[in-house]
A = this chain, B = another copy of it.
Amino acid sequence: MMRYLDKEAIENIAVGAAFLGTGGGGDPYIGKMMALSAIQEHGPVKLISPEEVNDNDFFMPSAMMGAPSVLIEKFPKGDEFVRVFEKLGRYLGVEEVAGTFPMEAGGVNSMIPIVVAAALNIPLVDCDGMGRAFPELQMTTFHLGGISAAPMAITDEKGNIGIMETIDNKWTERLARVQTVEMGASSLVSLYPSTGKQLKQHGIHHIMTFSEEIGQVIRSNEQDEATKFAQLLELTNGIELFQGKITDVIRRVQGGFNFGEATIEGLNQQADSQMKVCFQNENLIAEKDGVPMAMTPDLICMVDLETLMPVTTEALKYGKRVRVLALPCDEKWRTDKGIETVGPNYFGYDLEYVPLEEIAKQGGNARV
Protein backbone atom coordinates (compact mmCIF):
# COMPACT_ATOMS: atom_id res chain seq x y z
CA MET A 1 0.00 0.00 0.00
CA MET A 2 2.99 2.28 0.57
CA ARG A 3 3.68 4.49 -2.44
CA TYR A 4 5.29 7.78 -3.37
CA LEU A 5 3.37 10.90 -4.23
CA ASP A 6 4.52 12.45 -7.48
CA LYS A 7 3.53 15.66 -9.21
CA GLU A 8 0.44 14.14 -10.81
CA ALA A 9 -0.75 12.66 -7.50
CA ILE A 10 -0.32 16.02 -5.78
CA GLU A 11 -2.28 17.85 -8.49
CA ASN A 12 -5.11 15.37 -8.10
CA ILE A 13 -5.07 15.41 -4.32
CA ALA A 14 -5.14 19.21 -4.20
CA VAL A 15 -8.27 19.32 -6.34
CA GLY A 16 -10.02 16.39 -4.65
CA ALA A 17 -9.20 17.70 -1.18
CA ALA A 18 -10.53 21.13 -2.09
CA PHE A 19 -13.74 19.39 -3.16
CA LEU A 20 -13.96 17.57 0.19
CA GLY A 21 -13.03 20.83 1.91
CA THR A 22 -16.68 21.89 1.35
CA GLY A 23 -15.64 25.47 0.62
CA GLY A 24 -12.88 25.65 3.24
CA GLY A 25 -9.47 24.15 3.81
CA GLY A 26 -7.76 26.66 1.55
CA ASP A 27 -7.21 27.37 -2.10
CA PRO A 28 -6.00 24.29 -4.05
CA TYR A 29 -3.77 26.32 -6.34
CA ILE A 30 -1.80 27.78 -3.43
CA GLY A 31 -1.71 24.40 -1.72
CA LYS A 32 -0.50 22.57 -4.76
CA MET A 33 2.24 25.12 -5.47
CA MET A 34 3.57 24.70 -1.94
CA ALA A 35 3.56 20.90 -2.15
CA LEU A 36 5.08 20.76 -5.64
CA SER A 37 7.84 23.11 -4.67
CA ALA A 38 8.55 20.97 -1.60
CA ILE A 39 8.86 17.69 -3.50
CA GLN A 40 10.95 19.42 -6.17
CA GLU A 41 13.37 20.50 -3.46
CA HIS A 42 13.34 17.43 -1.24
CA GLY A 43 12.13 14.55 -3.42
CA PRO A 44 8.84 12.61 -3.44
CA VAL A 45 6.84 11.89 -0.31
CA LYS A 46 6.02 8.43 0.96
CA LEU A 47 2.31 7.85 1.59
CA ILE A 48 1.49 5.05 4.01
CA SER A 49 -1.83 3.60 5.06
CA PRO A 50 -2.94 3.94 8.68
CA GLU A 51 -3.16 0.14 8.74
CA GLU A 52 0.58 0.03 8.08
CA VAL A 53 1.77 2.16 10.99
CA ASN A 54 3.02 0.75 14.29
CA ASP A 55 0.61 1.18 17.16
CA ASN A 56 3.23 2.80 19.39
CA ASP A 57 4.78 5.08 16.82
CA PHE A 58 4.17 8.74 17.20
CA PHE A 59 2.60 11.10 14.64
CA MET A 60 1.77 14.79 14.49
CA PRO A 61 -0.26 16.74 11.95
CA SER A 62 0.46 20.22 10.69
CA ALA A 63 -2.13 22.61 9.38
CA MET A 64 -3.15 26.16 8.72
CA MET A 65 -5.65 27.77 11.06
CA GLY A 66 -7.78 30.85 10.44
CA ALA A 67 -9.64 32.60 7.69
CA PRO A 68 -8.81 30.94 4.35
CA SER A 69 -9.30 34.25 2.53
CA VAL A 70 -6.33 35.71 4.36
CA LEU A 71 -3.93 33.06 3.12
CA ILE A 72 -4.33 34.29 -0.41
CA GLU A 73 -2.71 37.58 0.53
CA LYS A 74 -0.50 36.38 3.36
CA PHE A 75 1.32 33.59 1.61
CA PRO A 76 3.34 31.37 3.98
CA LYS A 77 7.10 31.65 3.76
CA GLY A 78 7.31 27.86 3.90
CA ASP A 79 9.43 27.31 6.99
CA GLU A 80 6.47 27.91 9.33
CA PHE A 81 5.03 24.42 8.83
CA VAL A 82 8.26 22.71 9.71
CA ARG A 83 8.98 25.12 12.57
CA VAL A 84 5.67 24.50 14.30
CA PHE A 85 5.89 20.76 13.73
CA GLU A 86 9.42 20.47 15.09
CA LYS A 87 8.56 22.74 18.01
CA LEU A 88 5.76 20.46 19.16
CA GLY A 89 7.98 17.40 18.78
CA ARG A 90 10.74 18.95 20.89
CA TYR A 91 8.25 20.12 23.48
CA LEU A 92 6.81 16.64 23.79
CA GLY A 93 10.29 15.22 24.05
CA VAL A 94 9.54 12.72 21.32
CA GLU A 95 12.62 10.88 20.16
CA GLU A 96 11.33 10.12 16.73
CA VAL A 97 8.26 11.40 14.95
CA ALA A 98 7.25 8.56 12.66
CA GLY A 99 5.18 10.65 10.28
CA THR A 100 2.71 13.40 9.73
CA PHE A 101 -0.90 13.62 8.54
CA PRO A 102 -3.50 16.28 7.62
CA MET A 103 -6.04 17.52 10.16
CA GLU A 104 -8.66 18.08 7.48
CA ALA A 105 -9.23 17.74 3.76
CA GLY A 106 -8.64 21.00 1.96
CA GLY A 107 -6.78 22.63 -0.87
CA VAL A 108 -4.13 23.92 1.51
CA ASN A 109 -4.58 21.77 4.58
CA SER A 110 -4.08 18.52 2.69
CA MET A 111 -0.91 19.93 1.17
CA ILE A 112 0.88 21.30 4.23
CA PRO A 113 1.66 17.81 5.59
CA ILE A 114 3.19 16.98 2.21
CA VAL A 115 5.53 19.96 2.65
CA VAL A 116 6.45 18.81 6.15
CA ALA A 117 6.89 15.18 5.10
CA ALA A 118 9.13 16.23 2.20
CA ALA A 119 11.23 18.65 4.24
CA LEU A 120 11.78 16.22 7.11
CA ASN A 121 11.89 13.06 4.99
CA ILE A 122 9.17 11.33 7.01
CA PRO A 123 6.12 9.44 5.74
CA LEU A 124 2.69 10.93 5.32
CA VAL A 125 -0.15 8.85 6.76
CA ASP A 126 -3.24 8.48 4.58
CA CYS A 127 -5.79 9.68 7.13
CA ASP A 128 -7.13 12.89 8.59
CA GLY A 129 -9.31 13.97 11.51
CA MET A 130 -12.41 15.16 9.68
CA GLY A 131 -12.86 13.54 6.27
CA ARG A 132 -13.80 17.04 5.14
CA ALA A 133 -12.96 20.49 6.56
CA PHE A 134 -14.44 22.20 9.63
CA PRO A 135 -13.69 25.63 11.06
CA GLU A 136 -12.78 24.85 14.68
CA LEU A 137 -10.05 22.78 16.33
CA GLN A 138 -12.27 20.57 18.44
CA MET A 139 -14.20 19.51 15.33
CA THR A 140 -12.25 16.33 14.72
CA THR A 141 -12.93 12.63 14.95
CA PHE A 142 -9.95 12.55 17.36
CA HIS A 143 -11.93 14.82 19.67
CA LEU A 144 -14.90 12.48 19.37
CA GLY A 145 -12.55 9.67 20.37
CA GLY A 146 -11.44 11.54 23.48
CA ILE A 147 -7.99 12.58 22.19
CA SER A 148 -6.62 15.90 23.43
CA ALA A 149 -5.83 18.58 20.86
CA ALA A 150 -3.13 19.87 23.21
CA PRO A 151 -0.19 20.10 23.66
CA MET A 152 -0.49 22.25 20.60
CA ALA A 153 2.03 24.50 18.87
CA ILE A 154 1.15 27.67 16.96
CA THR A 155 3.29 30.02 14.90
CA ASP A 156 3.04 32.83 12.38
CA GLU A 157 5.02 33.88 9.33
CA LYS A 158 6.83 36.51 11.41
CA GLY A 159 8.40 33.95 13.73
CA ASN A 160 6.26 34.17 16.88
CA ILE A 161 5.66 30.72 18.29
CA GLY A 162 3.72 29.30 21.21
CA ILE A 163 2.79 26.10 22.98
CA MET A 164 -0.50 25.50 24.75
CA GLU A 165 -1.70 22.93 27.23
CA THR A 166 -5.36 23.21 27.99
CA ILE A 167 -8.07 21.74 30.17
CA ASP A 168 -10.13 20.66 27.15
CA ASN A 169 -10.30 20.94 23.37
CA LYS A 170 -12.73 23.88 23.45
CA TRP A 171 -10.14 25.86 25.38
CA THR A 172 -7.49 24.88 22.85
CA GLU A 173 -9.75 26.32 20.18
CA ARG A 174 -10.44 29.50 22.16
CA LEU A 175 -6.84 30.26 23.04
CA ALA A 176 -5.49 29.32 19.62
CA ARG A 177 -8.21 31.36 17.92
CA VAL A 178 -7.45 34.63 19.69
CA GLN A 179 -3.76 34.20 18.93
CA THR A 180 -4.55 33.39 15.30
CA VAL A 181 -6.62 36.57 15.02
CA GLU A 182 -3.83 38.61 16.60
CA MET A 183 -1.27 37.00 14.28
CA GLY A 184 -3.25 38.41 11.36
CA ALA A 185 -6.19 35.99 11.03
CA SER A 186 -4.07 33.02 9.99
CA SER A 187 -1.52 30.84 11.74
CA LEU A 188 0.23 27.51 11.37
CA VAL A 189 -0.45 24.85 13.95
CA SER A 190 0.48 21.36 15.05
CA LEU A 191 -1.87 19.62 17.45
CA TYR A 192 -3.54 16.31 18.30
CA PRO A 193 -0.23 14.49 18.68
CA SER A 194 -1.24 10.84 18.25
CA THR A 195 0.02 7.31 18.35
CA GLY A 196 -0.35 4.92 15.46
CA LYS A 197 -3.09 3.15 17.38
CA GLN A 198 -5.02 6.39 17.80
CA LEU A 199 -4.74 7.11 14.07
CA LYS A 200 -6.17 3.69 13.34
CA GLN A 201 -9.01 4.10 15.80
CA HIS A 202 -10.01 7.71 15.35
CA GLY A 203 -8.71 8.90 12.00
CA ILE A 204 -10.67 9.00 8.77
CA HIS A 205 -8.79 6.47 6.70
CA HIS A 206 -7.57 6.84 3.11
CA ILE A 207 -8.58 10.47 2.79
CA MET A 208 -5.57 11.32 0.61
CA THR A 209 -6.31 8.45 -1.73
CA PHE A 210 -9.98 9.37 -1.82
CA SER A 211 -9.05 12.98 -2.59
CA GLU A 212 -6.75 11.78 -5.33
CA GLU A 213 -9.52 9.68 -6.94
CA ILE A 214 -11.89 12.64 -6.84
CA GLY A 215 -9.21 14.87 -8.35
CA GLN A 216 -8.57 12.33 -11.10
CA VAL A 217 -12.22 12.39 -12.12
CA ILE A 218 -12.48 16.17 -12.02
CA ARG A 219 -9.22 16.75 -13.87
CA SER A 220 -9.74 14.05 -16.47
CA ASN A 221 -9.85 15.27 -20.08
CA GLU A 222 -11.04 11.96 -21.46
CA GLN A 223 -14.72 12.07 -20.65
CA ASP A 224 -17.42 14.52 -21.53
CA GLU A 225 -18.77 16.67 -18.72
CA ALA A 226 -21.91 14.60 -18.07
CA THR A 227 -19.93 11.36 -17.75
CA LYS A 228 -17.40 13.00 -15.43
CA PHE A 229 -20.16 14.37 -13.29
CA ALA A 230 -21.90 11.00 -13.06
CA GLN A 231 -18.56 9.43 -12.06
CA LEU A 232 -18.04 12.08 -9.43
CA LEU A 233 -21.44 11.41 -7.87
CA GLU A 234 -20.90 7.68 -7.96
CA LEU A 235 -17.42 7.86 -6.45
CA THR A 236 -18.46 10.16 -3.63
CA ASN A 237 -21.92 8.74 -3.02
CA GLY A 238 -23.13 12.30 -3.63
CA ILE A 239 -26.27 13.91 -4.95
CA GLU A 240 -26.69 17.08 -6.91
CA LEU A 241 -28.75 19.66 -5.03
CA PHE A 242 -28.74 22.56 -7.47
CA GLN A 243 -27.38 24.23 -10.57
CA GLY A 244 -27.32 27.97 -10.79
CA LYS A 245 -25.66 31.32 -11.03
CA ILE A 246 -24.38 33.14 -7.95
CA THR A 247 -26.28 36.41 -7.65
CA ASP A 248 -25.20 37.58 -4.24
CA VAL A 249 -22.46 36.89 -1.72
CA ILE A 250 -22.47 38.40 1.74
CA ARG A 251 -19.25 37.91 3.64
CA ARG A 252 -17.41 39.11 6.70
CA VAL A 253 -14.16 38.17 8.42
CA GLN A 254 -14.86 37.94 12.12
CA GLY A 255 -13.01 36.26 14.96
CA GLY A 256 -10.58 34.78 12.46
CA PHE A 257 -13.29 33.13 10.38
CA ASN A 258 -14.83 33.81 6.99
CA PHE A 259 -18.58 33.99 7.56
CA GLY A 260 -21.03 34.41 4.73
CA GLU A 261 -23.95 33.45 2.60
CA ALA A 262 -24.19 32.85 -1.14
CA THR A 263 -27.42 33.20 -3.08
CA ILE A 264 -27.69 31.12 -6.23
CA GLU A 265 -30.44 31.60 -8.83
CA GLY A 266 -31.46 28.38 -10.57
CA LEU A 267 -30.63 27.44 -14.14
CA ASN A 268 -32.28 24.97 -16.53
CA GLN A 269 -35.00 22.93 -14.82
CA GLN A 270 -34.51 24.92 -11.62
CA ALA A 271 -34.91 28.36 -13.19
CA ASP A 272 -37.65 29.34 -10.74
CA SER A 273 -35.77 28.21 -7.67
CA GLN A 274 -33.14 29.77 -5.46
CA MET A 275 -30.50 28.19 -3.27
CA LYS A 276 -28.85 29.79 -0.29
CA VAL A 277 -25.59 28.35 1.05
CA CYS A 278 -24.42 29.56 4.48
CA PHE A 279 -20.79 29.15 5.51
CA GLN A 280 -18.26 29.64 8.29
CA ASN A 281 -15.05 28.95 6.36
CA GLU A 282 -16.90 25.79 5.24
CA ASN A 283 -20.38 25.42 3.75
CA LEU A 284 -22.76 24.51 6.54
CA ILE A 285 -26.33 24.69 5.31
CA ALA A 286 -27.86 24.55 1.81
CA GLU A 287 -31.48 25.73 1.54
CA LYS A 288 -33.55 25.51 -1.60
CA ASP A 289 -36.42 27.95 -1.66
CA GLY A 290 -36.16 28.21 2.12
CA VAL A 291 -36.11 24.46 2.71
CA PRO A 292 -32.88 22.82 4.04
CA MET A 293 -31.58 20.27 1.56
CA ALA A 294 -28.32 19.42 3.32
CA MET A 295 -26.73 20.42 6.58
CA THR A 296 -23.53 20.03 8.54
CA PRO A 297 -21.89 17.57 9.17
CA ASP A 298 -22.90 16.32 5.72
CA LEU A 299 -20.67 17.78 3.03
CA ILE A 300 -21.95 20.62 0.87
CA CYS A 301 -19.57 21.05 -2.06
CA MET A 302 -19.70 23.65 -4.76
CA VAL A 303 -18.07 23.09 -8.13
CA ASP A 304 -17.86 25.04 -11.34
CA LEU A 305 -20.87 24.25 -13.50
CA GLU A 306 -18.75 23.13 -16.43
CA THR A 307 -15.22 22.29 -15.34
CA LEU A 308 -16.40 20.72 -12.03
CA MET A 309 -13.43 22.34 -10.31
CA PRO A 310 -14.17 22.96 -6.62
CA VAL A 311 -15.19 26.48 -5.66
CA THR A 312 -13.94 27.52 -2.23
CA THR A 313 -15.91 30.04 -0.18
CA GLU A 314 -13.33 32.77 -0.73
CA ALA A 315 -13.72 32.32 -4.51
CA LEU A 316 -17.50 32.76 -4.53
CA LYS A 317 -18.45 35.73 -6.70
CA TYR A 318 -21.30 37.23 -8.60
CA GLY A 319 -22.02 35.58 -11.91
CA LYS A 320 -20.16 32.36 -11.25
CA ARG A 321 -22.15 29.34 -12.43
CA VAL A 322 -21.97 26.44 -10.05
CA ARG A 323 -23.34 23.07 -9.12
CA VAL A 324 -24.06 22.38 -5.48
CA LEU A 325 -23.49 18.79 -4.38
CA ALA A 326 -24.04 17.09 -1.09
CA LEU A 327 -22.18 14.04 0.26
CA PRO A 328 -22.93 11.99 3.36
CA CYS A 329 -20.37 12.59 6.11
CA ASP A 330 -18.42 9.86 7.86
CA GLU A 331 -20.54 7.78 10.27
CA LYS A 332 -18.42 9.05 13.19
CA TRP A 333 -20.05 12.45 12.74
CA ARG A 334 -23.55 11.03 12.88
CA THR A 335 -23.21 9.94 16.51
CA ASP A 336 -24.71 12.02 19.33
CA LYS A 337 -21.33 13.48 20.21
CA GLY A 338 -20.65 14.13 16.54
CA ILE A 339 -23.88 16.06 16.06
CA GLU A 340 -23.34 17.94 19.31
CA THR A 341 -19.86 18.94 18.10
CA VAL A 342 -20.60 19.90 14.49
CA GLY A 343 -24.37 19.72 13.97
CA PRO A 344 -26.49 22.70 12.89
CA ASN A 345 -27.26 23.75 16.48
CA TYR A 346 -23.60 24.16 17.32
CA PHE A 347 -23.27 26.68 14.52
CA GLY A 348 -26.32 28.60 15.71
CA TYR A 349 -28.92 27.20 13.32
CA ASP A 350 -32.28 26.28 14.74
CA LEU A 351 -32.39 23.00 12.84
CA GLU A 352 -32.33 19.40 13.98
CA TYR A 353 -29.81 17.43 11.96
CA VAL A 354 -31.40 15.21 9.34
CA PRO A 355 -29.07 13.07 7.25
CA LEU A 356 -28.87 14.06 3.62
CA GLU A 357 -30.31 10.77 2.44
CA GLU A 358 -33.37 11.18 4.69
CA ILE A 359 -34.02 14.64 3.32
CA ALA A 360 -33.73 13.33 -0.21
CA LYS A 361 -36.13 10.48 0.58
CA GLN A 362 -38.65 12.90 2.03
CA GLY A 363 -38.50 14.94 -1.15
CA GLY A 364 -36.36 17.65 0.33
CA ASN A 365 -38.40 18.70 3.33
CA ALA A 366 -36.12 18.45 6.33
CA ARG A 367 -38.61 20.25 8.52
CA VAL A 368 -41.11 17.38 8.45
Residues of A within 8 A of B (CB): 91, 158-167, 171, 174-175, 178-179, 181-183
Chain A to chain B contacts (Cβ below 8 Å), 10 pairs: A158-B171, A160-B164, A160-B165, A160-B166, A162-B165, A162-B175, A175-B182, A175-B183, A178-B178, A178-B179
Q: What chain B residues lie within 8 Å of A171 (beta carbons)?
A: 158, 160
Q: How many copies does the complex hold?
A: 2
A166 to chain B, nearest CB (A): 5
A149 to chain B, nearest CB (A): 12
Least CB separation from A174: chain B residue = B182
Q: For the complex, what is the distance from the CA of A179 to the CA of B164, rounded to whole Å?
A: 11
Is A159 a contact of B164 with CB atoms below 8 Å? no
- Of A158, A167, A179, most B-chain CB atoms within 10 Å: A179
Least CB separation from A153: chain B residue = B163
Is B163 a contact of A162 with CB atoms below 8 Å? yes
Q: What chain B residues lie within 8 Å of A91 (beta carbons)?
A: 163
With beta carbons under 8 angstroms apart, the residue of B159, B165, B182 that contacts A178 is: B182
Q: What chain B residues lie within 8 Å of A167 (beta carbons)?
A: 158-160
Q: What chain B residues lie within 8 Å of A175 (beta carbons)?
A: 160, 162, 179, 182-183
- Of A162, A164, A174, A179, most B-chain CB atoms within 10 Å: A162
- Of A160, A167, A182, most B-chain CB atoms within 10 Å: A160
Is B166 a contact of A163 with CB atoms below 8 Å? no
Is A164 a contact of B162 with CB atoms below 8 Å? yes
Q: For the complex, what is the distance from the CA of A163 to the CA of B159, rounded to whole Å?
A: 14
Q: For the complex, what is the distance from the CA of A13 to the CA of B60, rounded to whole Å?
A: 49
Q: What chain B residues lie within 8 Å of A182 (beta carbons)?
A: 174-175, 178
Least CB separation from A183: chain B residue = B175
Q: What chain B residues lie within 8 Å of A162 (beta carbons)?
A: 162-165, 175
Q: For the complex, what is the distance from the CA of A165 to the CA of B162, rounded to whole Å?
A: 6
The 7 closest A-B pairs by CB, nearest first: A178-B178, A163-B163, A162-B164, A178-B182, A159-B167, A160-B166, A161-B165
A160 to chain B, nearest CB (A): 5
A46 to chain B, nearest CB (A): 31
